[in-house]
Each structure stands twice: as structure tokens, then as C-alpha cells.
Structure 1
Amino acid sequence: MSYTLVLGGARSGKSRYAQRAAEAAATAACTKPIAIVTAQIYDDEMAERVAKHREERGDEWETIEAPLDLPQAIETLEEGDVAVIDCVTLWLTNVMLAEKDIAQQTRELLAALTITRAEIWVVSNEVGWGIVPDNALARRFRDEAGRLNQALAESGKHSVLIVAGMKLDLMRP
């Protein structure tokens, strides 16, 4: 198997799209969908977001928390598993804040995604269309997220862009 990259801006519907696609695939495969979540809860607002995502998924989903150990979480998946990773930009934030080697972590993530026998939807934010951030950390994050998205799009089987809840299939040149 391989993975589908699901890109979009904030509140574009990318998580909902990935969730529905995974639920359909899991139903067809007679398996339980798996949510691999990367969020870390630091405040009440983030706790509310996480709770809303859990509620939207419902009890039929298994959840694996992987704020930093995303490649290892992927490696636990088995052939026939169906999963959504939500999301790699939060994972990237965690990697940056932990001062880990981003290039090495990205290589490990791509390796895990490339060899897995599970069917995965990888959710990621497209952050490069806004204004240039006013501080060095935010500019670095934007640049790293752009590089990560390019690498994910290059090695995945399919990429889609979600805009206003609508899917656009992305094609390689």
C-alpha cells in the first residue's frame, strides 16, 4: 500500500475528507479505522479541538497518540490497516520545538510511509499561501512545512488539495 496526502488550509475540510475516505476503506476491508494523532494539548482551546475531532470520529475509531514518534506509530500498522495521520504539520511543530533534526525525522517518516502495508491518509496544512511571517521561527516553520509537503507529495501515491470542503486532485508534472 501507499498513502494519500491530503493538503488544505485551516478549516478547509481536509480532516473530514480524510476521515470519510478512511471510514469507507475500513468498511470495505471489514476493519476498524485508526487515527494517528499528533496534537499535544497545551491549553483549553487545543483541548476543545482535540475533543471535537474525537467526537467526529466516534467510538468506532482506534486512536494512537504520536506527537513525536510518528514513524514508529506507522511501523506498528499491519497489512490491511486503514489509518489517518492528523496531522503532520503539528508533528513538525513538535519536532521543531523538541529541537530534533528535521531532515532526519523527515527521512524516517518517509521511510515508514513507504514501507507500510497499511492504507493511510496523511493530513497536512498548506501554510505557504499567506503573508510572510514576521518572525524567524514562523518563517522557518513555513519553509520546513513546505519542504515536508513536497517530499510527501513526491513519494505518495496520490495527493489532494481540499479547499472550502471541495477536493482537487493534484497531478505530478
Structure 2
Amino acid sequence: MTHLISGGSRSGKSRYAEQLAVQHGGPVTYIATAEVRDEEFAERVRQHRLQRPEHWHVLEAERGLAELVLGHDQEDGLLLVDCLGMWLMRFFRSDDQFDEMDFVQERQWLLEAIAAVQGQLLLVSNEIGWGVMPMSSVARRYGDLLGRLNQDIAARCQQVTLVACGLPLALKGG
């Protein structure tokens, strides 16, 4: 079963995904996608780590997310990917350049991996396009890419949930 869980910043989407993973009962592999770039974000990551059960297998993804998903998929297991927005950020370099060729290929591999998963897959992502249009072209590009990625992943998932104010709303399946 594949399940996309999306929501705004601090909406409770990661907490909801983690609750589902705890209820799973089988082996859980947590795939963290964030790249720590400053001290404030490092503290956020530290807090996330403290929330997770110690017996979960934790992997750090870079750009090769599909490879990790397929390499750690188990019929009785659950993979939790948190989050697609942070994974997309890995394709933006510090000089505000976007590695489009790499992203297009990795995105395609991820979409193929979602279709091939034998166990359960929870994918956490952000909904960022509900506010004001960003002023920078880089931020607009990021929002466009993430919005399209979310749509393509949602089309391939059996279940899609939007989390707002800590409350899950089933959009597809479930």
C-alpha cells in the first residue's frame, strides 16, 4: 500500500505518518531526506529524531531516494519517507541553480519505485502553494516543482491524506 501524506508547515503530517508507522507492527525503515544547512534546522532534525522509536532502522537519503526505497522494501515492512519537499531541495545548489537533468531522472525513478513497492510506503510531503506568490524566481520554481511532484505521486498512491491542524482528511482511498 502506498500512501502520500501532505500538509502545510507544522500541520502534523510527520506526526501522523509516524503514528501510522508505530501501528504497523512490522519492521519500519525511516528514510530522512533533509540536508542540514544551519543550526536552527539541525535542532529541528534533533527533535524529530527524539520522537522516533529507537528500534526503527533510519537511513539518510541524498538524491538517490528511489534506490533506497527499492533496496529496503520488504513485504511485511513499512518505509516512511520524510519528506519529499526536503528531498527536492537537494537538487537546488547553494548558488540557486537547479540540477534539472538529475532531478528529472531521479523523479522518474522514484515514480517507478512507488509502483514496484511490495510493502507499505508512507511518503510525507509539503503543501506550500496556498499562500502568497513567492517573490523570488527560485522559490516560485521550487513551489511549481513540488506541486507537480505531489500531483504525480498522489496519482500513483492508493491513499492520499491531507493533514491540517493535526487532523487527517482522506483525499483518496482509506
TM-score by length of 2: 0.91
Partner residue, 2:51: 56
Partner residue, 1:136: 137
Provide, for residues 51-98 of structure 1, a one-character-per-residue CA deviation record: whole Å limited to 9, x for no partner. Answer: 111100031211011021101100112221112100011001112336
1:95 is matched by which residue type in structure 2? Answer: F
Partner residue, 1:119: 120
Partner residue, 1:22: 21
Partner residue, 1:33: 28
Structure 1 CA distance, aligned partners of 2:74 and 2:57? Answer: 14
In structure 1, which of residues 68, 79, 91 is the aligned counterpart of residue 63 of structure 2?
A: 68
Where do 5+ consecutive residues of structure 1 fail to align?
Answer: none
Partner residue, 1:88: 84
2:91 is matched by which residue type in structure 1? Answer: V
Aligned-residue identity in percent: 35
Superposition RMSD on alpha carbons, in Å?
A: 1.4
Structure 2 CA distance, aligned partners of 1:96 and 1:111? Answer: 23
Question: Deviation of residue 100 (structure 1)?
Answer: 4.2
Aligned residue pairs, count:
167
Structure 2 CA distance, aligned partners of 1:96 and 1:89? Answer: 11
Where do 5+ consecutive residues of structure 2 fail to align?
Answer: none
3-state DSSP class of the match of 2:160? Answer: strand
1:166 and 2:163 matched: no
1:107 and 2:103 matched: no
Provide, for residues 25-74 of structure 1, a one-character-per-residue CA deviation record: whole Å limited to 9, x for no partner. Answer: 1x1xxx33111000111111111111111100031211011021101100
Q: Could you list the runs of 4 or more consecutive aligned residues of structure 1 that deviate by over 4 angstroms after TM superposition?
A: none
Question: Deviation of residue 103 (structure 1)?
Answer: 2.5
3-state DSSP class of the match of 1:95? Answer: coil
TM-score by length of 1: 0.92
Structure 2 CA distance, aligned partners of 1:128 and 1:108? Answer: 25
